[in-house]
């Protein structure tokens, strides 16, 4: 089992996507369902991170970047020692080259 750490950028991504979903779906339960679902998917990485494949974005970074898909979003993360570091949460339609430093 890994520890799971959500990095600041991923927390910001999560907040932005949730707020965007709420503004596009007023009065709907979907944004809350999405939020709790993506949080559960992140928690699940503690036991399943090594089963996830490499992300397309892996080519832009040093080290291995993996992805866990949830709905139409990618949870991008790296495994370092005993910890899964969640780096970004991105919609699949977002341009991956935006992440190039």
Write the pLDDT tens digit of every residue in 7-45. 999 999 999 999 999 999 999 999 999 999 999 999 999
pLDDT band at 101 (very low <50, low <70, confident <90, very high): low
List of residues 6+ apart from 82 with CB closer than 8 A:
2, 3
Query: What gap in Å lies between CA 100 and CA 3, rounded to an integer?
Result: 27
Tokens linked to 101: 């430093």
* Domains defined along the chain, listed by start: 3-94 (3.30.2310.20)
Share of the chain above pLDDT 90, in %: 86
pLDDT band at 99 (very low <50, low <70, confident <90, very high): confident
pLDDT at 83 over 70: yes
Query: What gap in Å lies between CA 93 and CA 82, rounded to an integer?
Result: 31
Q: What confidence score (pLDDT) does residue 85 get?
A: 98
pLDDT at 75 over 90: yes
């Amino acid at each position: 089992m890994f520890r799971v750490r959500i990095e600041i950028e991923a927390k910001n991504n999560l907040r932005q996507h949730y707020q965007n979903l709420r503004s596009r779906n007023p009065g709907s339960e979907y944004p809350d369902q999405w939020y709790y679902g993506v949080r559960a998917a992140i928690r699940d990485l503690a036991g399943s991170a090594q089963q996830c494949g490499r992300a397309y974005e892996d080519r832009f970074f040093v080290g291995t970047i993996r992805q866990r898909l949830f709905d139409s979003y990618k949870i991008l993360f790296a495994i370092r020692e005993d910890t899964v570091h969640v780096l970004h949460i991105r919609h699949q339609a977002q341009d991956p080259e935006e992440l190039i430093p």
